[in-house]
Structure 1
């Protein structure tokens, strides 16, 4: 998702400050009171004020163009939505429609809470219009359990003047990245900034290195060690601050904006802020090792398995994917489309930076690892923290994490 502040940082803030709109807040739009009108319950976690105009416009658009439907919306803090869906299933009060973080497909998808959309999607015939990563993020155990809502990924931002002064080209490989970061490090300025915080935010930024090395979670003992060793080398040469273990992605962007980092790894949600910078910058694909890879972020639409109005809810989902509904919604939220056929529409069609991120969706991988992904993710975060703080070697940390990851992946 495209945010003016850090993606998970502001959602945590929303959780603290948006409770009034969350657990107790129900937003009902104006709809028809005719007896044949179907009221659909809709849950999401977009609690901040800046999201409301775009969401209200989308709901109004749906009610005007999908016959006999009324949307009753309720919002929750980001950290609460998955739990509330689970609790609602126990109480038999699941919503008809929800917008969930794509990582939530790991936990929600395995619990038979979500409606199987496989047959509807086949009849719909538009699955091929989506980028591979976002679409795969909706697949669980061979079933389609959602439709991509929007997508984002990671890339490398560069301060063009700093790179030019150092005689450095934007790096395309790990070797070039290490060399560039070393040359760009001077005084209190680091060559590279990234987030290695002990949360999913840090894992989101680490996984591309694992994939670029040619590995995955099931080969973490080998390829996790390779990725960890590379990052440890950057810290050893002081090209990357060891304080990155406590940085959110917003913290990283602040350092780039303050010229305390010549390059940063971050997402498209930082672009609105970066456009206010007093220096020129560019954004390029993440440097590769053996493979090209970036990590997929964003949300998915889902319908719940016990919804009383599945046909009407699916009709709403179909409508949200039409250009007349989807393009204004994505532009209002500052998001990127998960659909290839919208590549030449919206702000992303003319903005070079957004276009770069859109093109990288072809290499973006979902974090789709099953219901116990959270345990595997925690193991990855612990390994990175141990290495970058100097408490464990890359090989030792990777072996320890691999044992926990293997256990988590085996629990289905």
Structure 2
């Protein structure tokens, strides 16, 4: 997912802790006893919320009915725990056959030798060109295919149509237009724009599009990071963006938009079900661009564990989940977007204008694929943004400080 929580730094935990921590997961096991010759596959994910259970239960039933001789034993962990449990499982010897992981986890897990190399299987399968470039690239690590996209999402700009019309403002398409619109839409306790700049991966997820739109990337943060930081800092200086954004999650941002205390917000498609209950009209457009257009890729990937005794059967399950009659109902139930281009005209996103807007942005969506030490680089970005937006160092000074840490982290591959 693209939402909350910084989930790194767990690599030093012990095998004993792993055994104890595994009790956190709630098991959802399919009914019935396994037949002789049936492969029982262990499956881990972090979809613990009640609203996910009907869709997940249906998917597992579909798999057990459609893939011969397979039984699924599922365990779900809190979002912030799954990657840690997989890492600890390498010590304790308790690992799943199949897991659904956040796409950012490919940075850490991809360099750990825990994930099965699916390159040859994927080539024989021949479906790679059916996926959007960003989601598929997010499964590539060190020249190998280590996963298959499960679903995708990205960021865009929501706006309150009445407020923009009353202010005579058109939906912005560039940074200059965004800054001007945010200033004109700011009134009283209502800010023109809301976004998340919290000191976690969630905030970095929202910041990276500004860096990319400026024409830069992590390896040029000293220059282009300063540009992106300056733009956001200026929004706060002009009163168009609240300094409190340094503590807001994306859910907090959406709440401000729903309360009409923000005329525009940067957020993802997972907010649409809640927004449909709003008592005002809203719409969504692509993120405004600077030198280029860009948005950040969120979503999950399927992965298999290298030590699985049932790799062939587990791969058969992954292939089966990608069949449209199976995949479309699953994605609709979860409120997610397909990572596959060939499903663009199926499912709820085919008729929902807001979902179609997000879908149209997936070709521009970039994965956060920077190697095993991305967590350190991400932390440096978050610290720089926090410092600048709370009025400490200048954007240039903060970017240069962060750049040193980022270059070191990216060089430790």
What is the TM-score normalised by the length of structure 2?
0.95
Q: Deviations over 1:276-320 (max 9, x none)?
A: 111111100000000100000000000001110000000000000
- Distance between the aligned counterparts of 1:278 and 1:190, measured in 2? 19
- Distance between the aligned counterparts of 1:28 and 1:107, measured in 2? 28
- Alignment-derived partner of residue 27 in structure 2: 26
For residues 42-57 of structure 1, the aligned pairs below 5 Å read 42-57=43-58
- Alignment-derived partner of residue 133 in structure 1: 134
- Alignment-derived partner of residue 173 in structure 2: 172
Q: Shift of residue 255 of structure 1?
A: 0.7
- Distance between the aligned counterparts of 1:103 and 1:33, measured in 2? 35
Alpha-carbon RMSD across the aligned residues, in angstroms, is 1.6
- Distance between the aligned counterparts of 2:351 and 2:274, measured in 1? 18
Q: Shift of residue 89 of structure 1?
A: 1.5
Confirm or deny: 8 A CA contact 1:62 1:316 kept in the other structure: yes
- Distance between the aligned counterparts of 1:272 and 1:34, measured in 2? 41
Long gaps (5+) in structure 2: 8-19
Q: Shift of residue 92 of structure 1?
A: 2.4
- Alignment-derived partner of residue 147 in structure 1: 148
- Distance between the aligned counterparts of 1:124 and 1:111, measured in 2? 25
Q: Deviations over 1:210-255 (max 9, x none)?
A: 0000000000000000000000110111010111111111111111
- Distance between the aligned counterparts of 1:118 and 1:224, measured in 2? 35
- Alignment-derived partner of residue 187 in structure 1: 188
- Distance between the aligned counterparts of 2:95 and 2:21, measured in 1? 21
Confirm or deny: 8 A CA contact 2:4 2:200 kept in the other structure: no
Q: Shift of residue 91 of structure 1?
A: 2.4
- Alignment-derived partner of residue 386 in structure 1: 387
Confirm or deny: 8 A CA contact 2:21 2:85 kept in the other structure: no
Confirm or deny: 8 A CA contact 2:153 2:269 kept in the other structure: yes
Confirm or deny: 8 A CA contact 1:29 1:71 kept in the other structure: yes
Kindly tell me: are residues 103 and 22 of structure 1, through their superposed partners in 2, closer, same or farther at Cα, counting changes over 3 Å?
farther
1:74 aligns with 2:70: no
Kindly tell me: are residues 199 and 24 of structure 1, through their superposed partners in 2, closer, same or farther at Cα, counting changes over 3 Å?
closer
What is the TM-score normalised by the length of structure 1?
0.95
Q: Shift of residue 25 of structure 1?
A: 2.6
- Alignment-derived partner of residue 371 in structure 1: 372
- Alignment-derived partner of residue 7 in structure 1: 3
Confirm or deny: 8 A CA contact 2:154 2:365 kept in the other structure: yes
- Distance between the aligned counterparts of 1:22 and 1:382, measured in 2? 34
- Distance between the aligned counterparts of 1:381 and 1:86, measured in 2? 24
- Alignment-derived partner of residue 298 in structure 2: 297
Confirm or deny: 8 A CA contact 2:153 2:298 kept in the other structure: yes
For residues 78-89 of structure 1, the aligned pairs below 5 Å read 78-89=79-90
- Alignment-derived partner of residue 279 in structure 1: 280
Kindly tell me: are residues 24 and 289 of structure 1, through their superposed partners in 2, closer, same or farther at Cα, counting changes over 3 Å?
closer
